[in-house]
Amino acid sequence: MAELIPTWGYAADGKAQLFQLASGEELPQGWADHPNKWQTPAVNQAVDELDKIIASQNKGALDRFAASQGIELDRRKSFGKMVADYREAISR
């Protein structure tokens, strides 16, 4: 039996998981060997934009931001619930 090597993997949503990999085996798809591999200028810009929307609690801006990513939110809900729904949608 091949010796397994404990190897940390990092998902784009910030999750970290310890994998037991055989020598030469790669992390599963969607996982990187370093969290910085997911940080790109586009991701950083989107995070900054979302932070500003949350600070302003602007439902229309949040709805447009989510729609630009193909996520439909219900504007009849509270702002906090819309944010929770958005976060749930991006975690899938």
**Whole-model pTM over 0.85:** no
Alpha helix (H) ranges present in the chain?
Answer: 41-56, 59-67, 79-90
What is the average per-residue pLDDT within 21-32? 92
Report yes or no: 2 and 20 within 8 Å, Cβ to Cβ: no
Amino acid at 78: S
Structural tokens at position 66:
């989510």
Report yes or no: 39 and 18 within 8 Å, Cβ to Cβ: no
Q: What is the pLDDT of residue 7?
A: 92
- The mean predicted confidence, pLDDT, of the chain is 89
Structural tokens at position 91:
């975690």
Residue 1's pLDDT band, with cuts at 50, 70 and 90, is low
